[in-house]
Amino acid sequence: MRNYSTTKRVLVTGGAGFLGSHLCGRLLEKGYDVLCLDNMYTGTKENIAHMLGETRFEFMRHDVTFPLYVEVDEIFNLACPASPIHYQFDPVQTTKTSVHGAINMLGLAKRVKARILQASTSEVYGDPEVHPQEESYWGRVNPIGERACYDEGKRCAETLFFDYHRQHGLEIKVARIFNTYGPRMHPNDGRVVSNFIVQALKNEPITLYGDGMQTRSFCYVDDLVDGLIRLMASPADVIGPINLGNPVEYTVKQLAEKIIELTGSSSTMAFRPLPSDDPRQRQPNIGRAKELLDWEPTTELEEGLKKTIDYFENAFSA
């Protein structure tokens, strides 16, 4: 089938979500045919509305926990709710999406001999004892905690990817994605950037958990998408896992202060108890990404936050 056309055909699962919709747009810009797959659990038609008229873009409503039969050259497997509020709402389905979804997409890749990339997560490191986190670290994860449906689901997906590679010779890529933000984030996804911006724009108290001194590293979505595309296009022996994220570390309190400043908000800070298994620190070591992909983020936090704030302001005024 693939000999009939020189245009690369790319499947993006979770393509109507925050990250997936940005990836679909970038792939279209590169001249690829894009099949966007999503069950719309957290994805929205609004995220992909500007692409629906493109002749090289196709949207299919489908759940990756069921088999899929299409002809494609590459697969970006992004399907899975990624925020604690969404993935803890139906934890059994979250695990199924990560594990059954991986099995089904790997089976598809095997059938059509496609290269496949797994969007894994920094959550595989859990509440880390190693800082910053590098890919050789095996993590410190609570396998029976409230976050385990996502943490262990993604860890199992990585296992499946490597076993398909070893057993069937499948061309795989595994990216471990750290905190990413930008336009099209869901306003109610419970993540700190979207939470803080929404609360600041409404002049509501900004909710911080614990003492606000836990750290995170924030990567702007355009930089992250560039990393995913570079990883997919890398030589076959560059498999991963490879950390993709911004190595500049901020406390959650510093982020809140910056967002209050940029929005001109009158919000104060409200402190709440720390959720179960919430990691104290999260910072990627991106040495492998620099060496193997010639990649590192270029968007400063303030620049990215301004674009994200503009998006939410326009969304609220629409």
CA–CA distance, 108 with 116 (Å, rounded to integer): 9
Q: Is 124 helix (H, G, I), strand (E, B) or coil?
A: helix
Amino acid identity at 229: I
Is 150 noted as a catalytic residue in this protein? yes
Q: Do 154 and 138 meet the contact criterion of CB atoms below 8 Å apart? A: no
Closest listed residue to residue 165, CA positions, set 121, 100, 229, 116? 116
Question: Residue 60 has which token pair?
Answer: 């299919």
Amino acid identity at 147: R
Closest listed residue to residue 156, CA positions, set 104, 107, 103? 103
CA–CA distance, 138 with 204 (Å, rounded to integer): 39
Phi, psi of 64 (to 5 degrees): -70, -10
Amino acid identity at 101: G
Determine the longest span between alpha carbons in the chain, in angstroms: 60
Other CB atoms within 10 A of residue 176 CB = 24
What is the Cα 270 distance to its own chain's centre?
28
Question: Residue 119 has which token pair?
Answer: 């969007």
CA–CA distance, 149 with 144 (Å, rounded to integer): 8
Strands 269-272 and 9-13: unpaired
Q: CA angle, 199 as apex, 298 and 271 as ends, to 5°?
A: 100
Annotated catalytic residue within 32, 41, 125, 150:
150
Residue numbers annotated as active site: 150
